[in-house]
Structure 1
Amino acid sequence: MQDNDSNQDEKVVNEEPFQMEEGLSLNVLNNMMEETLIRDSQNSFSPQDEPSNTAFKIAGIQEEKIKTFGHKFITAMNKVRASLFSEAKTLKFMNSELLQYEDYQKIFDQPSCFSYLSLPELGTVWILQIDSELALSLASIFRARRIEDQTQVKLSNHLDGALFFEIGPYIQRIFDSIYMQIFNSSLSPKIQLRHMLSPAFHREIKKEKNLLVFHFVEESQNLKGKMRLALPADFIRRLH
């Protein structure tokens, strides 16, 4: 809301919470986003519980192969980014680590955006995680474009399922670009994409499942934060 006493040249900043678009049914929202249970505080993850990366050897994946795929993924993600944003800076690949899904749940238990892409034909599930600060910044940009608002649309810091109405198409494009980078073909239009605010139980991922987690960082002027792509280690091992 604009202050009547503010300078007319001052940029207007609108702050508003996420709201579901009028006309959208609750069933649509429920299908896109699964509510997750709040964990008991006694299950919180402590630094001394951090798993050892000796699991890399157990997974049987060469370090050079991990780096190669890390750069493939960042190339795919930056293609999407370049088509949407004019800033010269791009996402950067930081590092990777091997975690069991149970440990992944414990480490990344703070609210952020988790998108699960199920690929039954490959027998695998991919996870894209976007930290809350970056997700909110992306959502504010996409909302401003959607409503053709020339001013900055500042959103509240509260995460809820409606967030995925703003960033869902962006997430789907990232998955499609990564799939294209690996297989040189597009994802099926009938994909199984589920969104959550924390990494909860997933029937297709056992808690002892080893995930290879690739860490990326965004440091452009209007977008700052981290993204992570987690893929099953056995899936990476099968790739050439």
Structure 2
Amino acid sequence: MEHPIFKINDRIDRIALAAEFARVGRVQVPNALAEQTASELTLMLQHQTNWGVAWQAGPQGPHYQDAAGVKAQLPDDLGTIQSATFRALRGTDYGFQFGSYPMLKAYLERWNSDGIHDYVFEHINDVPFMDLIRQVTGMPDLKKADAQATLYAPNHFLAQHDDSHVGQGWRVAYVLNLCPVEWRPDWGGYLNFFNDEGDIVAGWRPRFNTLNLFRVPQLHNVSFVPPFAPIARFAITGWFRDR
């Protein structure tokens, strides 16, 4: 596939979105990209991404196993990772497991120089997209973004946490959903936000071509994707930083 034309939807109501973000510290941007751009990025995630696995089980991790390592593992090895992450969540430990392609790491280490993932990463950090984020968040000092492609397949999840690494310059987390199917609520994979009592105060369904932005730190998770869900919750995620 040739590099897509990376174009932002020029009909985004940035003023209204900025008002909502200022009010609650999070906002969804529907139809964030031009339709063709979103469709081509989805094809990239479906067919041109060498998916590895990111996981953590309490004190074990965080770990990343690249695509070659995943292919070399026996089913029992992958089952051991899943069992470890499940055990962590039975108690009070933190954990996660999901498909990942670390776009920033791949870019810096030149895994596939000038490939489509590098092209997309550069556009996320280019002026048009960064200006959209600055305007919607009201944070003109944002300087750059990192990125990873993510795939939440059956049995994947991200436990509750708050992205409190503000010392690294994290200001705004983002999830650019590129899920190509009409996602059922029964399939999990929701981006949920919590109050201090553990109640869900907002839950966002994976919607195609929807950009989720939220100020950090803020309690959130990605809910467990059950075994009967399709392999379709694709996204590009990361943080916008002021340094």
Q: Which has the larger radius of gyration?
A: 1
- Calculate the TM-score normalised by the size of structure 1: 0.28
Higher normalized contact order (CA 8 Å, seq sep 6+, divided by chain length) = 1
More helix by share: 1
More strand by share: 2
- Calculate the TM-score normalised by the size of structure 2: 0.28
